[in-house]
Structure 1
Amino acid sequence: MTSKIFVDWMKRTNQKFRFGNRNVLIFVDNCSSHPDVEASNLRLVFLPPNTTSKLRPMDAGIIQSVKINYRKRVIRHLISRMEACNTASELVKLVNILDAILWIKDVWSNLSITTIQKCFTKCGFQRQIEASESDILASPFEEIMRETEFILDGITLSQFATFDNNLATFATSRDDWETEIVEKAKGVDLNDSERYSDENEDSNEDQKERSDKVISMTEAGVMIGKLKKFLFLIMKKVSLK
């Protein structure tokens, strides 16, 4: 998150509620990427600095629910592509940025209103109804656990969903904060970036040398993914005209 993204989002959201003649109160985490923006139909209320998840609905289960369901899609995708790869490094490269964007969008769109309501209730926004974490994640969480336990090899899905909790998610004072976030997410030391880049280029060259012979279901799935990316780019160009 950056200040620019937040301000742009505020403008679009305010316009939406202005057209609907609605006034909305938004509780916002207190961080440098959330400037105090004045808007006609929106009012920001900042939570105290360094508050715990007891006051933040997003941290009370909403983000975890999104992460769990997103990583469920990642695992399903990797399982469907396993036969086409010889190594784990080849397999993980079959997940691209477009896939991640579409999966996150789909997960967020399918997040139930009940889950969001229970997370707000858990933080005290509605006192007459109590909600626990087990209520918020119960049935879908159990279903996902059954589907993925064989591939996680002893790691719980909850651990898998939260392994990146310590990664920065907003702009910092460092000039290279974006690079730092990306490299940490990859598990790459910034000092080893050049070596990592060279290895990645060599790996990409090896991958290009592979020729498609017989089309299997797995390969067909990969091609569908490429077609999806092509259509996404075409639609983006059309929308810009």
Structure 2
Amino acid sequence: MNSKVFNDWITGENMEMRRQGRHILLMLDNASSHGKEKKPQLSHDKVKFLLRTPPATCSRSIKASSMLSRRRLLTSMISKLETASSVKELTKEISLLDAIKWIISAWYW
């Protein structure tokens, strides 16, 4: 991927979030394609860059955090299976605060 492809993608993502009335936070590593210099103006996407680390370290950290967060999500969903009448209802029971707590705990694990 290069900077143009990334900027086109993030601009499209921003338009979709605006259409849905949502805001998102993107945490990016220091890949050259994420080029910090010429970023499009984003109204519904906030971009934060992780600290400068060796590429392999960053990708391993992101992968480990994603896996641990996903594990917490699945554990939570499994524990609520008995009381939920549908998958849609089950996913509605997960709050943004839950997701943030899982990400934080995975990062510091």
Percent same amino acid among aligned pairs? 27
* 2:29 aligned residue: 29
* 2:103 aligned residue: 125
Distance in 2 between the 1:119 and 1:50 partners?
26
* 2:10 aligned residue: 10
Structure 1 residue ranges, 4+ long, deviating more than 3 angstroms after superposition: 118-121
Q: Which runs of 5+ in 2 are unaligned?
A: 74-98
Task: Give the drift of 1:49.
Answer: 1.7
- AA aligned to 1:117 is R
* 1:90 aligned residue: none
SS in 1 for 2:26: strand
Kept in 2, the 8 Å contact 1:30–1:49? The answer is yes
TM-score by length of 2: 0.53
Kept in 1, the 8 Å contact 2:69–2:103? The answer is no
Matches within 5 A, 1:96-107: none
Kept in 2, the 8 Å contact 1:3–1:33? The answer is yes
Matches within 5 A, 1:126-145: 126-127=104-105
Kept in 1, the 8 Å contact 2:6–2:34? The answer is yes
Q: Per residue, is there more strand in 1 or in 2? A: 2
Aligned-CA RMSD value: 3.4
Larger Rg: 1
| 1:60 is aligned to 2:64 | yes
Q: Which runs of 5+ in 1 are unaligned?
A: 63-113, 132-241
Aligned residues: 74
* TM-superposition CA deviations, 1:81-109 (whole Å, max 9, x none): xxxxxxxxxxxxxxxxxxxxxxxxxxxxx
